[in-house]
Chain A
């Protein structure tokens, strides 16, 4: 049983802590569902929950829209340009996430790059840091590689002769794209979108540094409850809500993705 050491560590460092949090959410200060009732009855919590979903949806949309043409171009160019495009994806992917968020702070702050350019052009400054727009821009950039890579791996396998066949039968390029290429590339879109959305739901660092009180996400709320207010029960309940949401989404997505992938492979 070679997997045993890893499994033991997994249960000790992941399983036991998660169990502790679930128990605390049900038992502090006393046994019962009080923390969950509190969570779902406070309008502020529901606002943050809704906002977390809205921000994650925006981030996913931005990622799909910008990754799709990029991944397509990667399949259409020669090996040299492809290497450059790949490096553009991989370097930010590997550069420390904190450093990348720091760059966004420098860019978006009121005395930052974007605002000084706007001012030198004679335009007024815009408020970007501590707004939802700023958070979405920063998060989407950090998560974009997670969208581009699966999309590229699916698009790489699409037989481009199908497009030529469609066009030789009289389909216009746009029609050939929408009836053949787009459906064939959808498994990549699903895979990337679900990864991006799930990672975005649990994002902590970027919203904490780029966001303000009006763009607080669920993770920050959990941190405040536990570290600042020492409310382990309430913080734990929020954490469990986040955890359950993530796993429900994964469970919903898994069968769809699996069958789509299989279809893509069969083709």
Chain B
């Protein structure tokens, strides 16, 4: 669309500001993580690695990190299996009940976090699941399920079912057909579902805050507790690590995706 030069400059400036607003605030954790003093006041003083050291050696931090890794890994696998099965099931059902069930399965995305959290907390108190691995895994899996369902369903929509029929007509049994035809074709959806599920669990805070106890804490719970309790720069160190890990993962993922697309053209 033709634009006046002035409009173009203003548009560019506004977008630059929005981009800065999106990215820059998070970067502030980087300088704070090297603070010499135990304070989150700006500007940070001196330079030290002690908060990174603290993250590794202090069991409060390292254990919560390991807990998060453990929970998120189990959730990623469980949610991907259940979500993929559900996506297949819905794909093979009549449109009306399938749509109804799909909407039902997406509800965890829109139910306000705190409402769900007090509900799960109430049930967990009765069933002694508060502060247990099983409790965390169940709650996080149900929150991650919609993302897997969306990712795999999107893949199934463009999947040509006749390919399976063809494989079967050539003598492949159901398992071989699934392994050699269906699975490779839905792999991208499966993989992004797996990643989304892992990230959802690793990041989950609201429900976790309610179902946690001193024996089992996940990383976001520890971060939240640390922010509300004292000005410990270890949170900034953790934030920096998470920020860089995420950036590398997303950046390389997008580059790979771009290259693959270019290769196909």
Within 8 A of A (CB), among B191-233: 199, 202-203, 205-206, 210, 220, 223-224, 227-228
When A7-B86, A66-B18, A98-B224 are in contact, do A2 and B92 touch as well, CB less than 8 Å? yes
Interface stretch (choices B52-60, B105-113, B161-169, B174-182): B105-113
Cα distance A39–B226 when bound, in Å? 33
Contacts of A3 in B (CB 8 A): 85-86, 89-90, 93, 101, 105
When A106-B42, A111-B42 are in contact, do A98 and B205 touch as well, CB less than 8 Å? yes
Residue interface mask A149-170, B partner, CB < 8 A = 1: 0000000000010011001000
Within 8 A of B (CB), among A2-36: 2-7, 9-10, 12-14, 16-18, 20-21, 24
The reply on B238 being an interface residue by CB < 8 A is yes
- Is the interface on chain A under 10, 10 to 19, 20 to 34, or 35 or more residues? 35 or more
Cα distance A219–B205 when bound, in Å? 14
Assess whether A99 is in contact with B118, with CB atoms less than 8 Å apart.
Answer: no
Contacts of A2 in B (CB 8 A): 85-86, 88-89, 92
The reply on B32 being an interface residue by CB < 8 A is yes
Contacts of B223 in A (CB 8 A): 96, 98-99, 102
In the complex formed, the residue of B with least CB distance to A247 is B110
Within 8 A of A (CB), among B1-41: 1-4, 7, 11-12, 14-15, 18-19, 21-23, 25-29, 32, 40-41
The reply on A264 being an interface residue by CB < 8 A is no
Residue interface mask B133-171, A partner, CB < 8 A = 1: 000001101100100010000000000000000000000
In the complex formed, the residue of A with least CB distance to B240 is A99
Cα distance A111–B45 when bound, in Å? 13
Assess whether B238 is in contact with A99, with CB atoms less than 8 Å apart.
Answer: yes
The reply on A261 being an interface residue by CB < 8 A is no
The reply on A181 being an interface residue by CB < 8 A is yes
Contacts of B123 in A (CB 8 A): 16-17, 20
Assess whether B114 is in contact with A239, with CB atoms less than 8 Å apart.
Answer: yes
Assess whether B11 is in contact with A9, with CB atoms less than 8 Å apart.
Answer: no
When A2-B85, A99-B243, A250-B110 are in contact, do A17 and B26 touch as well, CB less than 8 Å? no
Cα distance A95–B93 when bound, in Å? 37
The reply on A179 being an interface residue by CB < 8 A is no
Cα distance A94–B249 when bound, in Å? 10
The reply on B131 being an interface residue by CB < 8 A is no
Assess whether A107 is in contact with B28, with CB atoms less than 8 Å apart.
Answer: yes
In the complex formed, the residue of B with least CB distance to A73 is B15
Knowing that A13-B142, A96-B246, A112-B42 are A-B contacts, what are 6 other residue pairs whose CB atoms are under 8 Å apart, sorted by A's residue number? Answer: A9-B145, A97-B203, A98-B220, A99-B243, A202-B111, A232-B122
- In the complex, 24 of the A-B residue pairs with CB atoms within 8 angstroms, ordered by the A residue number, are A9-B138, A10-B104, A10-B142, A12-B138, A14-B111, A14-B142, A18-B116, A86-B254, A90-B250, A91-B23, A92-B23, A94-B199, A96-B223, A100-B25, A105-B40, A109-B41, A113-B42, A163-B1, A176-B1, A202-B115, A205-B205, A222-B115, A232-B118, A247-B110
A interface with B by C-beta (< 8 Å): 1-7, 9-10, 12-14, 16-18, 20-21, 24, 66-67, 69-70, 72-73, 76, 83, 85-92, 94-107, 109, 111-113, 116, 141, 144-145, 160, 163-164, 167, 173, 176-177, 181, 198, 201-202, 204-205, 209, 219, 222-223, 226-227, 232, 235-236, 239-240, 242-243, 246-247, 250
